[in-house]
Amino acid sequence: MIRTELCEMLGIEHPIIQAGMGPYSTNSLAAAAANAGALGLISTSGLILGATQAQEALTGEETGTPYELLKRLLYRIKEDTKDSKGIFGINCMVSAEFTAQARDIIQAVIDVRNEDAEMRERLKVIVTSAGDPLPWTETIKPSGVKWFHVVPSVRHAKRCERAGVDVIIASGHEGGMHVAWEPVHTMVLLPAVVNAVSTPVVGAGGFCDGATLAAALALGAVGVQMGTRFLATKESDFMQMWKEQILKSGERDTTVARGIVGPGRYLKNEASLELTEITVKKAPGLFLGQPDDLMTVAPEVMKKELEGFAATFAGDEKKALWAGGEVAGRIDDLPTVKELIDKVVTEAEEIIRSLPRKIGGRK
């Protein structure tokens, strides 16, 4: 059993976070992860972008505002995790483009926790990402929910400390989907952030097994957040063809191209390579560390990406855009979420126990 500050803070068994991953709302995944003793996260980017899947996942035909839909979804996850008393949270992008929607999503969590005592016990975390944490302090801090924020750099991590964030998630450039304009990978980013702040840090980007969990702990993290690895599990809400593409991918089979909220890492296929080519021509700032925004980015880039998302929902394998991290190259099975989590922590424990034998040349 590996217990860290993250486990103590949240009352979870294992120092593992199942990442929020849009466009799906990761309902089944979050419930399965919470039931298996990790922190399960519901992704809200589908709700923010108005993706119908998030709506249909609730009760088939049900419609409503993102605020109403998320509230219903949270009560459903509470029901799905009631036997294990699993701990869950939500991921919400707070990039400038989606401030109004993010406000509704965060308010839904705060309201649900205020109206239901069990929610206060088990809906414990808001993970914000893809934006500046500072403007959210006044909304999130007084509510008592634990606040995690995802960062790609030491500078951003220091901003999180100013904002009063409880846990910083340092996300390296090898991670799936949202990556930073400046590419810094986990092996450099994670220890740099740990050394720069006194807030607990979780590593993200490239984690998938016991060895990588043990490495994160060695680098000073209190746990790991895994996205791509959880995507490729039996319970994951993602399409079978997406999961299979992860199994087929080697470590060089991802590409970075312009996404809706900045650079995104996709599994290589015809559509993602075309998007990369358009990005090189029309939004080269992405490869030069020069951010553009929705007002300045070439419309062709956005059009191509939106077509890719539509094709994904339509099940069009050729044109679909599938996000995924470099770690896809290390994934070759589709376990249940519980099998995965149990294996990761058992392996990590074995590795950590074996390390003293490596000191001083002893076998």
Ligand X SMILES: Cc1cc2nc3c(=O)[nH]c(=O)nc-3n(C[C@H](O)[C@H](O)[C@H](O)COP(=O)(O)O)c2cc1C
Q: By the criterion CB under 6 A, which residues form the site for ligand X?
A: 19-22, 43, 45, 91, 93, 129-130, 150, 171, 174-178, 204-207, 225-229, 231, 323-325, 327
CB-based contact 153:172 (threshold 8 Å): no
By beta-carbon proximity to ligand X, the closer residue of 19 and 108 is 19
The closest alpha carbon to 66, from 82, 85, 81, 51, belongs to 51
DSSP 107-119: HHHHHHHHH-HHH
Show contacts of 238-244: CB within 8 Å, 24+ apart. 238/21, 238/24, 239/312, 239/315, 241/315, 241/317, 241/320, 242/267, 242/312, 242/320, 242/322, 242/324, 243/334
Considering the complex, what minimum distance in angstroms separates the CB of residue 237 from ligand X?
Answer: 10
Considering the complex, what minimum distance in angstroms separates the CB of residue 129 from ligand X?
Answer: 3
The closest alpha carbon to 74, from 43, 38, 39, 48, belongs to 43
Considering the complex, what minimum distance in angstroms separates the CB of residue 23 from ligand X?
Answer: 7
Residue with tokens 């312009």: 258
The residue sitting closest to ligand X, measured at its beta carbon, is 227
Considering the complex, what minimum distance in angstroms separates the CB of residue 175 from ligand X?
Answer: 3
Considering the complex, what minimum distance in angstroms separates the CB of residue 345 from ligand X?
Answer: 16
Write the CA distances from 356 to 38, 135, 221, 343, 346, integer angstroms: 27, 46, 20, 21, 17
What does the DSSP 8-state code read for residue 281? H
Considering the complex, what minimum distance in angstroms separates the CB of residue 256 from ligand X?
Answer: 13
CA–CA gap between residue 154 and residue 150 (Å, rounded): 11
The closest alpha carbon to 160, from 186, 180, 177, 136, belongs to 136
Considering the complex, what minimum distance in angstroms separates the CB of residue 130 from ligand X?
Answer: 5
CB-based contact 232:334 (threshold 8 Å): yes
Half-sphere exposure of 219 (CA within 13 A, CB side): 25
By beta-carbon proximity to ligand X, the closer residue of 80 and 326 is 326
